[in-house]
Structures are given as structure tokens and as C-alpha cells.
Amino acid sequence: MTTTQPMRLNGRYRLDARIGAGGMGEVWRATDELLGRTVAVKTVLPALADDADFARRFLAEARAMAGVHHRGVVAIHDLYHGPEGAFLVMEFVDGEPLSQVLTRYGRLAAPPALHLVGQAADALHAVHGRGIVHRDVKPGNMLVRPDGTLLLTDFGIARRDGATALTATGAVIGTLSYLAPEQVLGNPATPRSDVYALGVVAYECLSGRRPFTAENPFAAAMMRLNQTPPPLGPDVPGPVAALVERALAVEPGDRWASAAAFGTAIAQVAAALRSNAAPASGPVAAEETVVQRRAPLAPTLVEPALAATGASSAEATVLTPRPNAAQPLAPGSAAPGGVTVPPGFRPRDGYYVPVEPMCWGGLVIPGGLGRTPRRIAPDEEHYWETFAAAELPEEAVYLRQEELLGHPAVAAVCTARVLAACSRDPARTNGWELEPWPVQLGRDRWVFHCLASPGTGEWLGSEFT
């Protein structure tokens, strides 16, 4: 399926753009012309599709995955094996692999890392409940939507209990950097092998690197047979480090008993961090329960002025809030306590206003999900415009979007009164939709933009400054 010409599979699925490729085939963004929806189509290499034994296992595994109905697992829509080859039709996820998120940010603070890894544990719990072991858990097989929800995908080498092995006994299967020690030795993978791989993912999220590195992946894989991972940095809370250390135990029996137990422990530690409580210093004892639902992370804006001043992208997007972050700007003062006015703003009556229009696109897509924003010229169509900004206290950084408006610092600025005060014509902006969006400046400081939109779709021009 390498042609650039539009193709249709089974007279129904139009292949629009190739979005990935691997050892088994390709993944395409496609259109289901019968139902009029966007889907993902995973095609299988012809040599594999023609192999009767592979086709049998491919069908069995697709049927097994089709039986998993969970918000954190990519849904299976259709399967075909016939004269046109073999392909799988799946839910199309408008997001990006976690591997790309880590490439962009380098590393994550504990709260967002726990948020993402906890969702993956929840999804693995559902998969394991169907008797399936994923066997290739890694950031590249986790898709993150713009609203912070995560979906597990790519079960191409998954194994169902009682199924015939895809490889010969003693063969190593999976991505070497994330294999559990027992998989390195060629032994069968179990749910606890997936827990180990998820522990590697968690370590990478928190540190920006994998726990074992060497001159080649095979050497790194062998290191985990008799070595413990290097300790996580001092900025990683002790209870969080204990979660990961237990997941990375060499002996499967020393790890979390299941993805459910790992996920429940993650939820407990995350809740303690949010409440500023002091969790137990040792490993958390989690009961075998279904992982708790987690609130999605609010997408953040990257302050455009930072790029103009030469700040590195890592500095502009690091997610970790630091102690002694700047306090909210006091009403009636310009910049108390040495707090500098953010680039692109000037102080006014206890908050900041843009010195020139700040118009944004890509913040909303159909269905209400947030997207990575981009700055748009006022004479181009856009959805939101910043009318004010203010300092965001550290305790509000990880609030859910619906909770953010209720925080006193936000509620004092993102109001109809301030909107009218900033409008060129208050009558025109009367009744506009308001939305707060967190923005991190460097490593130590957060502000929030107060955005306004007429609520009627994209529009032209600027109503503020």
C-alpha cells in the first residue's frame, strides 16, 4: 500500500494518508465511505497475509481485541482477509504518540506523568481481563489526545491465553528497550511483563530517559537481568519513585500483582500529591480494584514571546511547577515582589492586558476537545482572543478545566466586567464565551490567559487592545 494514488479497500475504505509503518504493515488514515467517518486502517504485508497460519492468528487476535470495550483502548471496527490482502479497521484517534510528547517536553512533572501512566494501567487492566497480554507496551503505542486522555493501541504482537505463540520458543519479541527481564530470556510474557514495560514508560516520563542505556539495545536489555535502575532524580517525590521501582523489579513476583493494583496505587499517590498530603514513604499497598477515573489535563499554551526572545523550547514548555512560584498580581499594583510583567503584556488594575492582539486557533475542534493552539493574525479566521491574563497560583496548575474558573485568582479576572473593560466596544462583546487557559513561563511561573469568543465559530478582526 505504498502508492500515492487514492485507493479503496473492499470497496468501502478510502486510504487518505499513511500515518505509520512497521514490521507487519502500514497504518493509514482512511474514510469509511459507507458510514462517512474517519477511521484508521492497518494493512498487513502481503507476505504475511498469504501465510495461512498468520492469518488464523491475526483473525483470532482481532476478535479478542474487538471484545475489549474500554475508553482507554482503541476500538476495532472491522476486519478483512481476502483477495485484497488483510487489514484491520480501527477507531481513528486525533492525537499523537506519547513518544512525541516526550520528545517535545523532554520529561514530565509527577502529576501529568501519573495521569498518563495511570490511564495506561487502567487500559491494560481491561485488556488483561480478556486474557490478553499486550507484549509491546511503549510510548509509541500510546496515543494522547489533546485533552490529555490516553489510548492504548497496536496489539500486533499481543498474545491471548491459550493461543499459539507467534514465535518459536526462546525467541525475543517486542521492543527491546521495554522488555521485562523474563522476555529478554525468551520466556513467555505475562500481565506482570506488561506492568514492567509500563514501569519503564513511567521512568522515562519522569526522567526523560530510559532506565537502562548502553551502546546497543541488546546490551541495554541484558543489563536489566542483574541490575537495578538508577534512582530517579531528587525532584521526583519519594512515593512516586517507589511506585516505579516496584514496577521495575527483576522478579515478576516482586512487582505489582496486576495492572489494576499498579493503577490503584498510582491513583492514591496522585490524590495525595493534589491534596499536598504526605503519602506513606514506602511502597503503596494497593488493593485489586479497578483504577479510578482521572480528570483530563487542561492543555497549555506556549507563550509565543519566549520563542522571539531566544528561549529554548524546553524552557518554554517544561511542565514541572517549581517551589516559590510567582504569586498572583495584587489588584491595583503593577508588579509586586519583583514579579515581572509577562512578555507581550502590560499591567492594568491587578491583571495584564496584551500590548497587541493575541488571536488563537486550534483551541477547539468539533466535540469540544482542546488542541495545541497556534497564534493567528487578527485578519485571519480564529476562534479565541486573549483579553487579559494574570498569575496562576501553583495549587491551581493541575485543576480540571471546569474547576479552573472557580479558583479565586481566575474568577477575579475571567469575568464579563474585565471583558467589557478590555473591549474596544463592550456592546459587541457582551455575552461572549470566556475560557481560562494555563500558560507556563520558563520553569518557575504560570499565568493564565483569559480568552473570549463570540461562540458562533471562527471570526475575523480583534476586539481588544
Catalytic residue numbers read 136
Instruction: Kindly report the backbone phi and psi dihedral angles of residue 16, in degrees, each rounded to the nearest multiple of 5, phi listed first.
Output: -100, -45
Measured CA to CA, the distance from residue 284 to residue 261 in angstroms comes to: 10
Contact 343, 303 (CB under 8 A): yes
Sequence-ordered alpha helix ranges (H) in 130-190: 181-184
Q: Which three-class secondary structure string do you get for 396-440?
A: HCCCCHHHHCCCHHHHCCCCHHHHHHHECCHHHHCCCEEEEEEEE
Measured CA to CA, the distance from residue 428 to residue 437 in angstroms comes to: 23
Handedness of CA 22, 42, 101, 395 (dihedral sign): negative
Measured CA to CA, the distance from residue 6 to residue 326 in angstroms comes to: 54
C-alpha angle 205-210-213 in degrees, rounded to nearest 5: 165
Measured CA to CA, the distance from residue 178 to residue 355 in angstroms comes to: 49
Q: How many CB atoms lie within 10 A of CB 158?
A: 21
390: amino acid identity, one letter: A
Measured CA to CA, the distance from residue 357 to residue 465 in angstroms comes to: 6
| 311: its cell numbers | 528561549
Please give the sequence-ordered ranges of beta strands (E in DSSP) within 74-177, or none if there are none: 76-82, 85-91, 96-97, 132-133, 142-144, 150-152, 159-160
**410 Cβ neighbours under 8 A, 6+ residues apart:** 390, 392, 396, 404, 436, 448
Map residue 242 onto helix, strand or coil: helix
Sequence-ordered alpha helix ranges (H) in 12-142: 46-49, 52-66, 98-105, 110-129
C-alpha angle 39-124-248 in degrees, rounded to nearest 5: 130
Measured CA to CA, the distance from residue 463 to residue 455 in angstroms comes to: 14
Q: 376 forms bridges with which residues in the sheet?
A: 359
Residue in 318, 271, 314, 313 with CA at minimum distance from that of residue 292: 271
Residue in 274, 110, 134, 294 with CA at minimum distance from that of residue 205: 110
Measured CA to CA, the distance from residue 306 to residue 300 in angstroms comes to: 14
Q: How many CB atoms lie within 10 A of CB 368?
A: 7
